[in-house]
Structure 1
Amino acid sequence: MTARLITPPAGLAVSLDDARTAARLSGSALDGEITQCVRGITDEVEQQTGRAVVTQTYRVTLDSFPEAIRLPAPPVASVLSVKYIDTDGVEQTLDPADYELDAESEPCYLVPAPDRRWPETMDRINAVRVEVECGYGPDDTTTPSGIKSYILARVAEKYAPPGTPESPHLVRLLDRYKVY
């Protein structure tokens, strides 16, 4: 199984105003740098937690249908498509009535609907492609408070005066969001 980011997040996990305040900067002269800093720290959060913070699209590819398809980067908001190469070599799109999203479990899974089975696929690599939309929402208004606090504290550390020690305990803010 391979999971690849197809559409990166458009919005920021914290507002630019909040990030400026955390950095103790005024004006917009460093907005580009602060935006890049927030995006980098958000990537760090996603790597450490296994989650998507801001809405983004992933593609999962598999050689065949397993019993259940493990989906990346919860929370999974929706399944955009399930496509496969049938035994005749023709790409098919699975009807959404044929599968269910288990969004309660973390990680999330895609399973056949009750009394349904996955279709047979051609014996080839990447015969199955699933596209999913992941993340808490489009911007900072939907970012969980613990994740926001972590990002803003890391921004503050980045822009702190030289010699200011970093907090080794800050990462603990992310513990409750980790997907195992």
Structure 2
Amino acid sequence: MTRYVALLRGIMPSNPNMSNAKLRAVFEGLGFDGVVSVLTSGNIVFRSADTDVPALQERVQQALHRDLGIGGGTIIRSHQELRALLDTDPFPGLKHGRGTYLIATFLHSAPTEVTMPEQPDPRTRVVGYDQTARVFLAVVDNSDPGKTPDFMAWLDKTYGKDITTRTWLTVERIVKKLEG
């Protein structure tokens, strides 16, 4: 059995249909084992014998839409992919905080070509792109909470809406759950 996490896009914990209990029930209904949630922002850890990740993503997304009316998007990564990502230590010496908000933006599938922003956002330092985990890594200065960094808008424009961002702390928590 392979251990996975489903990173769900557009989850709002205040919506009763998006509660962790209902999300877990959908995964359990699909026959997955070891289903647990991480935080309340749409991170569901599970085990499956299925190794076809694109098919898993589609299957989960269809069930979420059918059972709960959730159409936001599903991105699945294996424990192995996320463990390897953490082991690269992409943010050496940095601590997650207001001026150094460490983020990982996961793409639904591997792009045919990876591009970086032409005009770097002064509030964002792009650390790089990890091809194996299909994720952009960046450090954002979000000390001005009223402004969204241009980098996030660039990601949406360049790679579409089939992306989702997690803090590095959340990625670390997910890996801990995958290993627990």
| Interval of TM-score (by shorter of Structure 1 and Structure 2) | under 0.3
- RCO comparison, higher one (Cα < 8 Å, 6+): 1
TM-score, normalised on structure 1? 0.25
TM score, norm. by length of structure 2:
0.25
- Structure with higher Rg: it is 1
